Amino acid sequence: MDFEIVNGSIESIEADCIVIAIAADGELSDSAKAIDQASSGAISDVVASGDFSGKQGALLLLRSLPGVNAKRVLLAGVGAQSERSIIKQQQLIKSAVDTIKTLGVKTLCFALDRISGNSDDIYRDTRTLVEASSAALYHYDTTKSKPAPELTLEHIHIHLPEADTEFGEGALLDGVAIANGVSTARELGNLPGNICTPLYLAEHAKNLADEFDNVSCEVLDEKQIEELGMGALLSVGKGSAIPPRLIVLKYQGAEDPNDAPYALVGKGITFDTGGISLKPGPEMDEMKFDMCGAASVLGAFESVAEMNLPLNLVTIVAAAENMPSGEASKPGDVVTTMSGQTVEILNTDAEGRLVLCDALTYVQQFNPQAVIDVATLTGACIIALGHQATGLLANDNELAAKLLDAGEFAGDRGWQLPLWDEYQPQLDSNFADMANIGGRPAGTITAACFLSRFTKEISWAHLDIAGVAWNSGKAKGATGRCVPMLTQYLLDIAEQIEA
């Protein structure tokens, strides 16, 4: 998709459709007023007749308005100021694009005058327009016999005052990079498990290294993983015919290549049967999405490389397939992790924390400034937070606050849960240093407590995306979360570096 900033009087813009904002009780935005005046009151007539009130999320398409060069004008209701939020702004933009993309429109122009969201921020609004439009245009057809028909929509323009063009173009470029990362994460998540295996993820990472000059990739095979003493990661993958992989991507963007990097770690369980602790059959197909943590850190890595941020970044993906077989781990087995700590595997379906604990130990050799792991880790997180918020737990409240702020800005929100020592005894084991589960109570917290035992010496945060990584039902598919949150966090750091 081609995105472009445009200027000039809105009524003279050449486009197949222009989207303008109408506030609550029919209050017109500046662009709506200009089109209303040029069309001899056509917009105000629609409002006065009661056909359109500006209710949040409402849309009404008008055609061939006199005095307006655009063939169509789409009225978009933004509601009252108190009703607006970045989440509703994203939904409105997606709805507008969904409405337009089926009409044979080639050029769409947004002229929302910075009132569709809850902040008067050109950068944020422009980026949101790009990211939400891209999300609406994404479609998956990789494994279909016939690709979806090509969209006629080719250009999306964003109307800004001429004085804001340069600032808007910077936001547009960032938005495109983040949208590309989200699309990558969605595509990886949507691929079936027989295609997107640990080996496939490794090849994807190698391709990223080929695409960007300042990116390198190393893939550790099962022999190297064993030599490093990663008994937990190996225990998950040994039930599958497809061997595990540890993927290491490095981005060098800092002026000093020796600057300590920031680190992202992703759970890459490309299919999760539960192993010997077999999951129930219904909806097990959705366990191809159990690698969405890996997909999100790979997507965020791609966005950072595309934006060429002035920092160093290490991204680790612990990739394995969790299968039942004669070789698979059994409940009651004890494994030794890379850290030397031992784990009693009481439930083989609590495998994500096993691959992550070894990856979290491995990443510490890079002396990272902060480590963030991302995983579809616990069904308990869905019970706690539903499908709206990412669960966040951390041993560093300053890091947690930065991630929460980044999520609010990017419209990719999280909610912090406690990581108190009082939960740790639930992981006690009679036969190892710890068990890999702590019972049903506070399942999301005890999973993070498990990971915290491997991150005592670093600034660390854990993002549980089990509830937000994909949609079920008719809209089944990966969402690309938490690419926006992670990328915004790193953008905030880059801004501080450049200040």
Q: What is the DSSP string of 16-68?
A: SEEEEEEEGGGPBPHHHHHHHHHTTSHHHHHHHTTS----TT-EEEEE--TT-
Asked if 481 is an active-site residue, the reply is: no
Separation CA 7–CA 390 (nearest Å): 38
**Cβ atoms < 10 Å from Cβ of 75:** 24
Other Cβ atoms closer than 10 A to 221 = 15
- Region of residue 359 (phi > 0: left; psi between -120 and 50: alpha; otherwise: beta): alpha
Q: What 3-state DSSP class applies to 332?
A: coil
353 catalytically annotated: yes
Radius of gyration in angstroms for the set of CA atoms belonging to the chain, rounded to a whole number: 24
Amino acid at 490: L
**List 94, 279, 453, 476, catalytic entry:** 279
Output the CA–CA distances (angstroms, integers) from residue 198 to 82, 228, 294, 396, in the order listed.
Answer: 47, 18, 10, 31
Cα–Cα–Cα angle for 15, 20, 26, rounded to 5 degrees: 150
CA angle (175 as vertex; 122, 133 as ends), nearest 5? 95
Q: Which of 186, 353, 413, 481 is catalytic?
A: 353
Cα–Cα dist 179/487, whole Å: 11
Dihedral sign of CA atoms 446, 448, 450, 453 in order: negative
Residue 299 to residue 176: CA distance in whole angstroms: 12
What gap in Å lies between CA 319 and CA 59, rounded to an integer? 44
> Helix or strand or coil: residue 320?
strand
- Quick check: helix, strand or coil at residue 112? coil
Nearest to 177 by CA among 491, 494, 388, 497: 491
CA distance 360 to 30: 52
The closest of 417, 407, 384, 403 to 85, measured between CA atoms, is 407
Q: Which residues are catalytic?
A: 279, 353
